[in-house]
């Protein structure tokens, strides 16, 4: 019943990796209530497309660390609703600023898909043209260390360095935490642009820890041999670097959102989401099916 079609699509501008499902752009996610549809060239919109009742078209951003899990969840949701699923992969390289990202997302949700998977959710994060599903999973930033005796940021001596991805929600949360510490206990936050370099510096002792989005670390460990042990520690609650993940739709698709919310609720309650996290290697990091709230 659930035929799956995968398509690759590239655009001249791409959604910022920092604002993907891995929600690394949530640090700058203030109110986004302004309209974006007025900024879209109407000639780009394929409004002639027919609506098909037996297919849900899902889009994903290339490079998302939760891409495999998001797709598996979408396939399971389609099966719950007794419809087929199609998938389109979009580029993701806007940079931290994310200019025109909302406009391109509006075009993609008009032309290419019904649901954009793997999006970070927060109140008033998206313009009024968009609505979101309920969260289907919650992930957290984590502290990764090479010293097994370190159980948290509080165990790292003041003056030592801790890495985090530049421009990320985790880096902002780490910086805020450091600012609350007494001067003699303050750590030094170092921004990194690449996960592999940060892991290298962790293992060679240049940094005492790294604050990284859990799925990013899990994906990196699954795809890269690491010459040493890395231990994952949860961040203190006061840092609050948690990400709720769901799907994004155009506001006119409220009925589909309701159906997806019902399917997600069933899959959370019957253990399907937890099983999919395990199947896709996401059960090695702090996570919560159905969201963290």
Tens digits of per-residue pLDDT, 69-104? 999 999 999 999 999 999 999 876 655 545 556 777
- CA pair distance 246, 138, nearest whole angstrom: 9
- Per-residue pLDDT at 36: 64
Phi, then psi, of 259 in degrees rounded to 5: -65, -45
Q: Are residues 113 and 218 in the same domain?
A: no
Average pLDDT for the chain: 82
Enter the tokens of residue 154: 């509080």
Q: Are residues 201 and 177 in the same domain?
A: yes
- CA pair distance 197, 221, nearest whole angstrom: 13
- Using the predicted structure, report yes or no on whether residue 258 has a pLDDT greater than 80: yes
C-alpha separations of 73 from 163, 196, 215, 291 in Å: 32, 28, 15, 14
Enter the tokens of residue 204: 């060679």
- Per-residue pLDDT at 30: 34
Q: Are residues 130 and 274 in the same domain?
A: yes
Q: Are residues 179 and 248 in the same domain?
A: no
Q: Are residues 178 and 228 in the same domain?
A: yes
Q: Are residues 221 and 118 in the same domain?
A: no
Burial of 213 (0-12, 13-18, 19+ CB in 10 A): buried
- Using the predicted structure, report yes or no on whether residue 170 has a pLDDT greater than 70: yes
- Domain residues for the domain of 109 are 4-138+243-289
- Per-residue pLDDT at 67: 94
- Using the predicted structure, report yes or no on whether residue 233 has a pLDDT greater than 80: yes
- Per-residue pLDDT at 26: 31
- Segment 160-183 shows an average pLDDT of 94
- Using the predicted structure, report yes or no on whether residue 15 has a pLDDT greater than 60: no
Q: Are residues 12 and 113 in the same domain?
A: yes
Domain count, the chain: 2
User: In the Cβ-directed half-sphere of 130, how many Cα atoms lie within 13 Å?
Assistant: 33
- Per-residue pLDDT at 16: 33
- CA pair distance 226, 86, nearest whole angstrom: 35
Burial of 203 (0-12, 13-18, 19+ CB in 10 A): middle
Q: What percent of the chain has pLDDT over 90?
A: 59
Bigger pLDDT: 31 vs 181: 181
Q: Are residues 278 and 180 in the same domain?
A: no
Q: Are residues 231 and 90 in the same domain?
A: no
Cross-strand pairs, 134 = none
pLDDT tens across 47-70, in order?
655 555 689 999 998 888 999 999
Q: Are residues 232 and 180 in the same domain?
A: yes
Bigger pLDDT: 225 vs 206: 206
Q: Are residues 117 and 25 in the same domain?
A: yes
What is the CATH classification number for the domain harbouring 193?
3.40.190.10
- Per-residue pLDDT at 293: 67
- Per-residue pLDDT at 238: 67
Q: Are residues 89 and 221 in the same domain?
A: no
Q: What percent of the chain has pLDDT over 70?
A: 78
- Using the predicted structure, report yes or no on whether residue 31 has a pLDDT greater than 50: no
Are 232 and 217 in contact, with CB atoms under 8 Å apart? yes
- Segment 105-127 shows an average pLDDT of 87
Q: Return the closest-CA partner of residue 248 out of 88, 138, 130.
A: 130
- Per-residue pLDDT at 52: 59
- Per-residue pLDDT at 21: 34
Mark which of 208, 223, 239 sits at the end of a domain.
239
């Amino acid at each position: 019943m659930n035929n799956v079609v995968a398509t690759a699509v590239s655009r001249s501008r791409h959604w910022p990796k920092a604002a993907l499902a891995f929600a690394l752009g949530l640090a700058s996610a203030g109110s986004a209530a302004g309209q974006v549809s007025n900024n879209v060239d109407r000639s780009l919109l394929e409004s002639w497309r027919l609506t098909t009742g037996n297919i849900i078209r899902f889009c994903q951003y290339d490079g998302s660390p939760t891409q495999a899990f998001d797709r598996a969840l979408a396939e399971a949701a389609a099966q719950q609703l007794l419809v087929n699923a199609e998938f389109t992969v979009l580029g993701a390289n806007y940079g931290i600023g994310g200019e025109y990202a909302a406009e391109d997302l509006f075009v993609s949700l008009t032309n290419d898909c019904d649901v954009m998977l793997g999006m970070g959710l927060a109140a008033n994060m998206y313009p009024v043209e968009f609505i979101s599903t309920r969260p289907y999973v919650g992930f957290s930033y984590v502290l990764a260390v090479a010293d097994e005796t370190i159980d948290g940021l509080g165990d790292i001596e003041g003056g030592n360095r801790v890495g985090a991805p530049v421009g990320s929600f985790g880096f902002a949360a780490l910086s805020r935490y450091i600012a609350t510490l007494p001067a003699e206990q303050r750590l030094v936050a170092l921004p990194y642009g690449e996960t592999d370099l940060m892991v290298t510096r962790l293992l060679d002792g240049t940094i005492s820890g790294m604050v990284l989005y859990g799925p990013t670390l899990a994906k990196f460990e699954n795809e890269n041999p690491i010459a040493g042990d890395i231990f994952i520690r949860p961040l203190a609650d006061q840092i609050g670097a948690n990400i709720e993940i769901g799907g994004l739709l155009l506001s006119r698709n409220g009925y589909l959102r309701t159906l997806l919310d019902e399917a997600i609720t069933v899959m959370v309650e019957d253990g399907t989401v937890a099983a999919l996290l395990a199947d896709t290697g996401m059960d090695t990091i702090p996570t919560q099916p159905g969201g963290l709230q």
